Homo-oligomer: A and B are copies of this chain.
Amino acid sequence: MSTITALETVDLRFPTSRDFSGSDAMNPDPDYSAAYVVLRTDEPSGHAGHGFVFTIGRGNDVQSEAIDALAPEVVGRDVDEMCADLGGFSRSLVYNSQFRWLGPEKGIMHMAIGAVVNAAWDLASRRAGKPLWRYLADMSPQQLVDLVDFRYLSDALTPAEALELLQRAEPGRADRIAALEATGVPAYTTTPGWLGYPREKVVRLAKEAVADGFTQIKLKVGRELADDKLRLQAAREAVGPDVAVAIDANQIWDVGQAIDWVRELAEFDLAWVEEPTSPDDVLGHAAIRRALDGIPVATGEHVHNRVMVKQLMQAGSVDILQIDAARVGGVNENVANLLLAAKFGVPVCPHAGGVGLCELVQHLAFFDAAAVAGDQPRRRIEYVDHLHEHFADPVVVVDGNYQAPTKPGFSAEIVESAFAEYGYPDGRYWRTAG
């Protein structure tokens, strides 16, 4: 018998605001950061579980402290028991009667729970010797249903419906897994499109993206309409008519403004418009989608839990759901989100970038392709080419496709050399930065 012996956190901040990487209409100066957590065990193997919340700088200390506050709920647990019932583990944190008040199921405390739940999944899949997506894809439909908290979902998705949906996808699993391991899942790249980049840089990076095999790029928009037109025109010319171009407004518009603005950009043949308004605005997204009449609407990276995802589906708010690995309550809630999307026939194109979001979210997309929604030609995983060097098992993108992760775990581990350099405020970079 082994136990969780410690919950350790690290406040890691990378100074990305220096070159406007990651800049958009709502977030002009992000310092991409991770409130990082390690669950230590006394297993002879030395296995540990790794997870994190992605933030963009200030407040990463508060996020880390929220994770620390969960230590008494986790340290001392039997590892076998925890890993054998990750649904129960997740619910024990979400429904902790006093912590729940701080959300409920939203914001800093819910993200802290998500990081700890993800770390437990990292540990469980390492112990099983499988990459997380295979660990999930090898579970039975009933085991997968048991992971999900159906509270507040039953008017849209019952456990019985979820079971049936997963059972329908079961016969083709093995073939799909083989195909995924051979070719991977298509990526799209946001690298060319940061709002702070000059137009020449957008053009150069867009051309590089096409040369690298990407079939879709994404541009940040929403600061100035005339400038958006110029940047989109330049990007469209750079990539040609056959590469998809999506736009992302990062919540900058009101409903009517979104409709007017996007209509002005429709001539550039948009793959989707992402986060046109507040992530909380289920009805607003539905109104925008109706008015845009065919231009796909996408959101999800800031959608805080399964109750919101349920409503996005019920209201017909989106054409594409963009789940995030580190915003909701961890793997368990994302299994719920994938099931909801599958029930309503909405493709899932996960949000990535940030610190390690590519590493995490690829597992969820591969799992979705293997065992939930199955084949889906519109599935794309976001890709951004920064900060991967700090990960022990970084993503591999070849010819515009994410390659199937093969190492055991959730690819969440950050190498310790990053702590010494970018630990905040005592890492070398921050001690010596002006």
* Nearest CB in chain B: distance from A292 CB, A: 14
* Nearest CB in chain B: distance from A251 CB, A: 7
Decide if A102 touches B155 in the complex (CB within 8 Å): no
Q: Which secondary structure characterizes the binding site on chain A?
A: loop
A282 within 8 A of B: yes
A18 within 8 A of B: no
A296 within 8 A of B: no
B residues within 8 A CB of A251?
Answer: 104
A 332-359 contacts with B by CB, 8 A = none
A 23-82 contacts with B by CB, 8 A = 26-31, 55-59, 61-63, 65-66, 69
Once the chains are docked, how many angstroms separate the CA of A57 from the CA of B97? Answer: 9
A21 within 8 A of B: no
* Nearest CB in chain B: distance from A311 CB, A: 5
Choose the segment among A106-114, A221-229, A264-272, A421-429 that binds chain B (4+ C-beta atoms closer than 8 Å): A106-114
Once the chains are docked, how many angstroms separate the CA of A251 from the CA of B308? Answer: 15
Decide if B62 touches A62 in the complex (CB within 8 Å): yes
Decide if B256 touches A280 in the complex (CB within 8 Å): no
Decide if A66 touches B56 in the complex (CB within 8 Å): no
* Nearest CB in chain B: distance from A102 CB, A: 5
Decide if B59 touches A283 in the complex (CB within 8 Å): no
Chain B residue with the shortest CB-CB distance to A305: B280
Given contacts A65-B65, A277-B152, whether A283 and B314 have CB atoms under 8 Å apart is: yes
B residues within 8 A CB of A62?
Answer: 62, 65-66, 69, 102, 108-109
Decide if A59 touches B305 in the complex (CB within 8 Å): no
* Nearest CB in chain B: distance from A149 CB, A: 11
**Chain A to chain B: the 4 pairs with minimum beta-carbon distance, closest first:** A107-B107, A57-B98, A58-B98, A155-B255
